[in-house]
Structure formats: C-alpha cells, structure tokens
Amino acid sequence: MDPHETINDILVNLFNDILKLEEEAIITDEYKDITNNDMHIIEAIGLTGENTMSAVAKKLGITAGSLTTSVNSLVNKKYVTRQRSEEDRRVIFLRLTEKGKRAYEHHRDYHRQMTDAVVSRLDENEIPILMKTLAGLSEFFRGYNDKIKI
C-alpha cells in the first residue's frame, strides 16, 4: 500500500474509532442520562462560568437556537444552569452545576488518557513533529469547513 493510502486508511479508522470509543468511555452508568453531544456541550461551557449561550454556540459551530434545545435538556437534568446578565438581560451565561463539573472532569480525564497514550510513545524530538502534523490536519478541516459554508 502506498503512503497516501496507508495514511488515509489510518485517518478514516482513527476518526471512526474515536467517535465510537469516546462515547463508550465517557457515557458510563453515572452519565447514562446524557449523550456524547451533551458531553461536548458541557466541555464547551467549561469551568469559568463566564461563557454565554452565543459564545458556546460559536465554539461548537452551531446556532444559538440549536444549542438552546440541548441546554434545556442539560438544565432539566441538573448539569447546567442559566443566569441572565445584570447589565444586559439578553445575555445568558451558562454555568456547570456540581454534577456538570463532575461530568466535565470525567470527559477531560478521558481526553488526557487518550493524549497520554499517544505522547508516551514518543520521544521529545517527535512531539513537535506530531504537533505540526496535527495542526496541519486541523487547518485542513477548518479550511474545508469554511469552503463548504460558502
């Protein structure tokens, strides 16, 4: 198999495996009431308590309307709270509850384990090469996504 075919095969399988395995790893008995998508919303909200609906929607690349449906569910399940800004009542801050913070940490730990599994196999000279490679791949996807939106 030539290098392009090998790299393509690795990337396709890697993306499919990450999606499947991440869902299995992070949606445990404790978090069976939410989806993998919900977990990524929790991650985008983060721990600062300063993220607005529009900021989280932008991070996720979705509309505020699409986010509203998911946030309603996360509020009902006690993972997230909403708070209107005192200065501008149109602005809504999203904050994680204690339950939401535990879910955030659980998700972050999975990602840390995934990253450690890769980095631990590299010597210090190989890490910058991997970072450059992944940055190029990320740049491709962002540019490709921008082309689709045109």
Q: What is the pLDDT of residues 49-70, one digit of tens each?
A: 889 999 999 999 899 889 999 9
Which region among 25-29, 46-50, 78-82 has the lowest average model confidence (pLDDT)? 25-29
pLDDT in tens, 97-138: 999 999 999 999 989 999 999 999 999 999 999 999 999 988
Extract the tokens encoding 81.
């709270």
pLDDT at 149: 59
* Helix, strand and coil in the chain, % to nearest 5: 70, 10, 25
pLDDT at 93 over 80: yes
pLDDT at 145: 61
Query: Which carries the bigger pLDDT value, residue 88 or residue 74?
Result: 74
